[in-house]
Amino acid sequence: MTDSRLVCLGKTLLRRIPLDNKQVDSQFARCLTTLDLISLGVGATLGAGVYVLCGEVAKEKAGPAIVLCFLIAAVSSVLAGLCYAEFGARVPKAGSAYVYCYVTVGEIWAFIVGWVLILSYIIATASVARAWSLTFDNLVGQAISRWIKSSMPLNLPGTMLSEYPDLLAVLLIVLLTALLSLGVSESALMGKIFTGINVTVLGFVVVSGLVKGDRGNWSLTVDDFINATNVTDPELIKKEFGSGGFAPFGFRGILSGAATCFYAFVGFDCIAATAEEALNPMKSIPIGIVASLLCCFVTYFGVSTALTLMMPYYLLDTQTPLPKAFDFVNQSHGRYVVAVGSLCALSTSLLGCMFPLPRVIHAMASDGLIFRFLSRMCDRTKTPLQATVISGVVAAPMALLFDLDVLVDLMSIGTLLAYTLVALCVLILRYQPGRLDASLKTKTQDTQEPVEDFTPMLLLRPRTDLPTDLSGSIVYSTTFVLLVLVILLCSMLGLCWDELVMGRYSVVANCAILALLSLLCLVIIWRQPQTREVYSFKVPLVPILPLISILFNVGLMMQLSLTSWIQLAVWIAVGFVIYFTYGIRNSSATFGRAGTSTAPSTDELQRQEESQIEEHSKHP
């Protein structure tokens, strides 16, 4: 009896919502063009990082080779973006990675991803709001912070509280919440305006750097360091400034810089949250994701090139590199242009953080995994009003009181977890039989051989060139084994890198075994037949590219602190309390509904009940 209950629980946790390749009827207002999506993606991705990150990475990790760091980071980000683009073409529903997991790997994984994404977006919203407040405060000579510190100090050392309550950040979140509640077209218009200003400012930076720059800054020598710093010890010079040239910190510095630069491309996933507000999501979402990432790469590449040409990398300021670079080339007026651009960049970045948050909440509430009242839509504005207000209500106190620097790693884990599972879902779904088109499914079923038993030979020599339930199950199981192997391999590389470089036998042998087993899993997946369905975008070179994306994302996750993992575990535990006391019983899948976009909202259910009562009163 106990075994049957466990099996029933397992099936419940892994139940999936059905897919439909037709554009769903949306409760949202379909008004976003492809240009709107590109603007939203560029605005969310091209945030404050371009004004700060370039100086930090160039000075401390890569030197002029920062341009290669952005190239490597862009390639890895595009891999994740391609996976999102394929699902955007196949699943035109709001909810982003949450929905993609729900249709592929099951309800419990979808809940975990959605719940972690909510936390990531909340932290990102509060962090960017505080960064905007700090930038504006610096422009007015710290007048705001000095007044608040003297009136309402929060000097509590040893806690996560900030030095003072950031009232300006709260006001900014309140204003943005009101804007998002008015409608998506108004929000998109604001995003396009600020993104246009930001891109124009960065274009000015690139042109100024190419005109005023000195190519000699890309080929500095030890003598240049000695003359500029009065440091004569070669070992100390090498430790502080590298060995000079284009890549002063070597290949390892480039890789370290690329890992940091990867986070500069985070934010494009907000495009996937617009699936039910885009005019043609199956085409515009893939185009929007890929185009926005390419635009951001060109901009990051150009700005980092200009910055390292304008000023020697070892003299760069890690906090305000662009204004100091303009001062260095005697163009002090440029700092005011940069100030305007940084505020616009932070504004669009804040919009990109807060825009998808109520959409994920709405999707989970529509499916009944969290409280259904959060799925209610405003009939006038066609926005998830209650989810939007709740988003602002939760983010505002965090921006007001907390020092969010200690939570940045936690935000990164959430984003990387979503990227990893989306790539995993592409691997699984590509090899499943007849998931989208009913006619193809019927045809496939009619032409298939009778159900066959599993034999080891089927791992490498399937009997048909069309996916079957058995081949789909093989890929499903093998993919999760592959994920475990990748996690073990990345953990060992992160913990034992020095021993691996030194050639310690046990470490090298374990890494080699894990790598060979991972390669075997990859070959098994590759040998299985893929679906022949045709849709507007497919990730090329499956299963290789999704696996590379998974490797990179898991590797970055393994570099984050133990404290962040403990905080994540606590947040997921809180989510499980909600899921197992409410969501598992109220899930739309329990009642046989189609899922996220087609499940009736609370208001619709109430109207249906009232209509039935009225009909019954007329005809008792």
Arithmetic mean of pLDDT, 587-614: 50
pLDDT band at 307 (very low <50, low <70, confident <90, very high): very high
In a domain, 13, yes or no: no
pLDDT band at 26 (very low <50, low <70, confident <90, very high): low
Token pair of 489 as six digits:
């391999």
- Give residue 501's pLDDT: 77
**The whole model's pTM is what?**
0.85
In angstroms, rounded to a whole number, what is the distance separating the alpha carbons of residues 606 and 267? 37
In angstroms, rounded to a whole number, what is the distance separating the alpha carbons of residues 77 and 22? 28
Residue 27 has pLDDT above 70, yes or no: yes
Q: Please tell me whether residues 418 and 470 are part of one structural domain.
A: no
Give the domain-ending residue among 531, 564, 598.
531
Q: Please tell me whether residues 381 and 511 are part of one structural domain.
A: no
In angstroms, rounded to a whole number, what is the distance separating the alpha carbons of residues 83 and 226? 49
In a domain, 619, yes or no: no
Arithmetic mean of pLDDT, 155-173: 80
Closest by Cα among 550, 412, 556 to 121: 412
Q: Please tell me whether residues 412 and 463 are part of one structural domain.
A: no
Closest by Cα among 349, 320, 333, 278 to 124: 349
CB atoms within 10 A of CB 501: 11
Q: Please tell me whether residues 408 and 460 are part of one structural domain.
A: no
In angstroms, rounded to a whole number, what is the distance separating the alpha carbons of residues 387 and 376? 8
Token pair of 348 as six digits:
């669009």
CA angle 604–610–611, rounded 5-degree value? 85
- Helical segments of 160-183, H only: 167-182
In angstroms, rounded to a whole number, what is the distance separating the alpha carbons of residues 190 and 167? 23
Q: Please give the tally of structural domains in the chain.
A: 2
Sign of CA dihedral 517, 520, 525, 526: positive
In a domain, 403, yes or no: yes
In a domain, 429, yes or no: no
In a 3-state reduction of DSSP, which class is residue 278? strand
Token pair of 515 as six digits:
């790598």
Q: Please tell me whether residues 214 and 123 are part of one structural domain.
A: yes
Q: Please tell me whether residues 199 and 266 are part of one structural domain.
A: yes
Q: Are 472 and 480 in contact (CB under 8 A)?
A: no
Q: Please tell me whether residues 329 and 414 are part of one structural domain.
A: yes
The rounded percent of the chain whose pLDDT value lies above 70 is 88
- Give residue 609's pLDDT: 39
In a 3-state reduction of DSSP, which class is residue 30? coil
Peptide bond into 543 cis (omega under 30): yes
In a domain, 236, yes or no: no
In a domain, 266, yes or no: yes
Domain that holds residue 487: 455-531
Q: What are 202-232's pLDDT values in tens digits?
A: 999 999 998 988 888 898 887 777 776 766 6
Maximum Cα–Cα distance for the chain, whole Å?
99
397 Cβ contact list (under 8 Å, min separation 6): 170
Give the domain-ending residue among 513, 531, 549.
531
Give the domain-ending residue among 405, 424, 443.
424
Q: What are 334-351's pLDDT values in tens digits?
A: 888 898 898 999 899 999
Q: Please tell me whether residues 31 and 164 are part of one structural domain.
A: yes
Q: What are 462-515's pLDDT values in tens digits?
A: 888 888 888 888 999 999 999 999 999 988 887 887 788 787 888 899 999 999
Q: Are 77 and 293 in contact (CB under 8 A)?
A: yes
As a residue count, the chain comes to 620
CA distances from 105 to 244, 256, 297, 422, 427 (A): 49, 33, 32, 10, 11
Q: What are 286-295's pLDDT values in tens digits?
A: 999 999 999 9
- Give residue 556's pLDDT: 85
In a domain, 489, yes or no: yes
- Give residue 178's pLDDT: 92
Arithmetic mean of pLDDT, 594-611: 43
In angstroms, rounded to a whole number, what is the distance separating the alpha carbons of residues 28 and 26? 5
Q: Please tell me whether residues 280 and 167 are part of one structural domain.
A: yes
Q: Please tell me whether residues 413 and 518 are part of one structural domain.
A: no
CATH number for the domain including 149? 1.20.1740.10
Residue 376 has pLDDT above 50, yes or no: yes
Arithmetic mean of pLDDT, 188-207: 92
Q: What are 394-453's pLDDT values in tens digits?
A: 999 988 888 776 677 788 888 889 999 999 999 998 898 864 433 334 344 444 445 667
Q: Where do we find the tokens 């500029």?
A: 228
Q: Please tell me whether residues 189 and 279 are part of one structural domain.
A: yes
Q: What are 516-544's pLDDT values in tens digits?
A: 999 999 999 999 999 888 777 889 889 99
- Give residue 591's pLDDT: 67
Q: Where do we find the tokens 């952005």?
A: 70
Residue 598 has pLDDT above 50, yes or no: no
Q: Please tell me whether residues 158 and 65 are part of one structural domain.
A: yes
Q: Are 243 and 252 in contact (CB under 8 A)?
A: no
In a domain, 8, yes or no: no
